[in-house]
Amino acid sequence: MASVFKVMLLSAYLDRPGVAHRALHRSERRLLVPMIRRSDSVAATRVRDIIGPGAVRALARRVGMRRFHYNPVWGLSRTSPRDQARFMDHFDRFVVPRHRSFARHQLAYIVPSQRWGVGRLRLPGWRLYFKGGWGSGSGAVDHQVAFLESGDARIALAIFTQADGSHSYGKQTLRGIAARLLRGLPADG
């Protein structure tokens, strides 16, 4: 899964009983924001240690993921694009209302250096929420999960590639696949 796993970590963290119905503490924001927006893996490991594997597995069950397999090395956890597209399509159901705008904001404001693939497409009239994952820049894996909204219309996608040869090639592949999938979107949803 690489870093697309971090979206599940975010959702599971925000759903915790001690967090779900109160404002986030400054320390929590300092942990969650970089985990998503600049893909901070140290922060992701801390979040994983806080919530534990049970919370992530419970989220996968609630989403209805059929191919999710947790690994203690979180980036090596496995899933399918179908499972992740389902998760992203219904993302708002899996983030408590109190923290929904916070979570969506993180996915909308990925740092420019990580806005590759679908993040490089011009999609007039659509709002993009996404996260990428990659195998240490090696091209071993390059993944993206996303949802787009325009008015009442919503589209979700998950693109997983592996053995790309290089991260640069993987990013180009993700952009090309996303462009084909989203070709012809109406500008007003």
pLDDT digits (tens, 9 = 90+) for 34-63: 999 999 999 999 999 999 999 999 999 999
Residue 189 belongs to a domain: no
pLDDT digits (tens, 9 = 90+) for 67-81: 999 999 999 999 999
Using a pLDDT cut of 70, give the percent of the chain over it. 100
Residue 187 belongs to a domain: no
Residue 172 belongs to a domain: yes
Q: From CA 134, how far away is CA 143, in angstroms rounded?
A: 6
Residue 170 belongs to a domain: yes
pLDDT digits (tens, 9 = 90+) for 116-129: 999 999 999 999 99
Residue 125 belongs to a domain: yes
What integer pLDDT is reported at residue 107 of this predicted model? 98
Domain boundaries, position 172 = 2-182
CATH code for the domain in which residue 118 is found = 3.40.710.10
What integer pLDDT is reported at residue 86 of this predicted model? 98
Of 12, 6, 184, 188, residue with least CA distance to 110: 6
Q: From CA 85, how far away is CA 79, in angstroms rounded?
A: 11
Residue 62 belongs to a domain: yes
Residue 131 belongs to a domain: yes
Residue 188 belongs to a domain: no
Number of domains in the chain: 1
